[in-house]
Amino acid sequence: MYKFVLPLWLAAWPAYAQAGIEPPAPLTLPAALALADSANADLAAARHELSAEDGVVQQAGLLPNPSLTVERVDTRRDTRETTVQLSQPLELGGKRSARVQAAQRGREGAAAALVQRRAEVHSETTAAWFAVLAAQEQLRLAQKASELAQRAAAATGRRVVAGKVSPVEETRAQVAASTVKLDLIRAQSALVTARARLASMWGNPAPVFEKVAGEIEALPELAPLPAQRALLAQAPAMQVARSEVERRQALAKVELSRRVPDVSVNIGSKRSEELGRTQAVFGISVPLPLFDRNQGAVLETARRADKARDELTATAARLEAELAQAREEYAASRAQALALRSEILPGAQSAYDAAITGFDYGKFGFLDVLDAQRTLLQAQSHYLTTLADAHRAQAAIARILGADHE
């Protein structure tokens, strides 16, 4: 009977996620996305903004406070008069309901902004993860090229000693090995940079993961364009723009409601020591809207609502263009990758193998091997770059449509 034991880092995953530090084991894409969800600073800020809007909604529904007034006339005990009065403002014109509705629309906008930011973080994390995966493969190719160049230089040296080739060939082989070593250094630096970029998505300045684990060559077909266009109506950016229109319209209603003056009801008592009696005091206070009828604020909110509607239209057009561009970039990168994998890479590998075999038998010179090796490495590097470009375009599509759509 087999017993399954969880790795230590997996058992401690909640602690890693809470601390914003990835486990040292190979990092998968779902694990990277989970880390970004739990520890990304921008997402945390968006969540705090949403919580703050809850306070705005709560505050908007509160009634205005009453006020207590105490007034005393004359300081002499026998003749003084004391008036105690309680005043309660009454909001008219639907001010409170309009204010609550505007606050709720603001909260909906903050929720939509959180969804949008999450889609952006997922897109950035996905692109950064595939960049690390491509950098790992580039480093592997550079290490392999360095080993091959060193072996070729050693073989050339032995042939020079045997008198089969000119010493110039050995010099060329050593120069080629040094050049490949520089490529290896650049590949190592690129991997360090890519790892740091990925770890920054969850706020870790010192990456501890060993490597990322995944399949870079998987490039699925995209959904048809009409199907993805249908999803644009519910895209995160559209939800944010639509929420802003609704919020501006609600704010316009708030300013319209403020054109109706509020009434303050006053009730209290007046005590006259000279007369020896206490009288009830009642009153109503109504401001007269002779000059300020809130006309400026009404005009401002109406125009801002118009602006929000225009921005919604502009957002729809921008997303259409971005989706078409991202789809075209993905299709082009995918087509190039498939062509490289099926046509160019096999030919370059075959030419390199033939050059190596001919060099071992003395039929080809070292320059022939070097040219074949350079061609193969360039094709392999181009292939990895094209794959990374395709995954970056696919991440851009996911950002446009939302984190759960591609």
| Mean pLDDT (whole number) for 392-397 | 94
Instruction: Supply the pLDDT for residue 395.
Output: 94
Q: Are 247 and 362 in contact (CB under 8 A)?
A: no
Whole-number Å distance between alpha carbons of 206 and 131: 17
Question: Residue 72 is which amino acid?
Answer: R
Question: pLDDT digits over 264-322, tens only?
Answer: 999 999 888 878 888 888 999 999 988 999 999 999 999 999 999 999 999 999 999 99
pLDDT number for residue 273: 81
Contact (Cβ atoms closer than 8 angstroms) between residue 261 and residue 92: yes
228 vs 19, more confident = 228
Express each pLDDT in 228-274 by its tens digit: 999 999 999 999 999 999 999 999 999 999 999 999 999 999 888 87
Cα four-point dihedral sign 394, 404, 49, 300:
positive
Per-residue pLDDT of 336-368, as tens digits, reads 999 999 999 999 889 888 887 887 776 776 667
Cα 211 versus chain centre, distance = 23
pLDDT at residue 8 in the model = 41
Read off the pLDDT of residues 143-156 as tens digits, 9 standing for 90 and up. 888 877 777 767 66
Query: In the structure, what pLDDT confidence band is assigned to residue 405 with cuts at 50, 70 and 90?
Result: very low
Pick the range with the lowest mean pLDDT from 47-51, 56-60, 377-381: 377-381
Q: Is the pLDDT reported for residue 167 higher than 70?
A: no
Q: pLDDT at position 32, please?
A: 93
Asked if the model's pLDDT at residue 4 lies above 80, the reply is: no
pLDDT at 5: 39
The confidence score (pLDDT) of residue 92 equals 92
pLDDT at 12: 44
The whole-chain average pLDDT of the chain stands at 86
Cα gap 30→214, rounded to integer Å? 10
- Whether 53 and 102 have beta carbons less than 8 Å apart is answered as no
Higher pLDDT, 158 or 232: 232
Task: List, as one string, the DSSP characters of 340-352.
Answer: IIIIIHHHHHHHH
CA distances from 123 to 128, 130, 196, 206, 384 (A): 9, 11, 17, 22, 19
Q: Give percent of the chain above pLDDT 90.
A: 60
Mean pLDDT, residues 35-51 taken together? 94
pLDDT, tens digit (0-9, with 9 covering 90-100), for 170-205 = 676 667 777 778 888 889 999 999 999 999 999 988
CATH superfamily of 27-401: Outer membrane efflux proteins (OEP) (1.20.1600.10)
